[in-house]
């Protein structure tokens, strides 16, 4: 089975802090994604990566950056956390050949920024 893990299930940070969210997948998938999920807004794509050191902006990249130094690991960085970044963050990876549409998700990190 595909396994996507995220470093924390719950995280509390203060405004202005730099926050690192880590995601690891064990199935050698090329594509990895970071979403945030907010009530009433569904899932919104922040960034995705289709290979090591490659990244593409999603729909809401402002205030975020990413890092993909190894194929299995995709990190989301909040350069200076703000209260409007309080959200559920979901990482996913996808099977090659499906155009990214069959995605396997991690359990999510619920981030609270005070």
Residues at the site binding other proteins, with contacts judged by CB under 8 A: 4, 31, 33, 35, 42-45, 48, 56-59, 90-92, 94, 99-108, 110
| Residue 9 falls in which region: left (phi positive, over 0), alpha (psi -120 to 50) or beta | alpha
The distance of closest approach from Cβ of residue 16 to other proteins in the complex, given in angstroms and rounded to an integer, is: 28
CB-wise, 75 or 94, nearer to other proteins?
94
b/e string for 47-57 if b means 16 or more Cβ within 10 A? bbbbeeeebee
Phi, psi (rounded to 5 degrees) for 84: -75, 0
As measured in angstroms, the least distance from the Cβ of 54 to other proteins is 12
Q: How far is the CB of 22 from other proteins (least distance, A)?
A: 15
Cα–Cα distance between 88 and 26 in angstroms, integer? 22
Based on CB atoms, which residue is closest to other proteins, 3 or 14? 3
Minimum distance, C-beta of residue 90 to other proteins, in the bound complex (Å): 5
């Amino acid at each position: 089975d595909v396994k996507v893990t995220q470093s924390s299930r719950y995280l509390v940070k203060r405004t202005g802090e730099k926050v690192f969210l880590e995601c690891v997948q064990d199935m050698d998938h090329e594509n990895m994604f970071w979403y945030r999920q907010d009530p009433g807004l569904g899932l919104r794509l922040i960034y995705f990566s289709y290979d090591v050191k490659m990244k593409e902006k999603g729909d809401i990249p402002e205030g975020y950056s990413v890092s993909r130094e190894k194929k299995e690991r995709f990190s989301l960085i909040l350069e200076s956390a703000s209260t409007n970044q309080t959200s559920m963050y979901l990482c996913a990876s996808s099977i090659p050949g499906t155009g990214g549409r069959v995605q396997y998700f991690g359990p999510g990190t619920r981030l609270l920024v005070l």
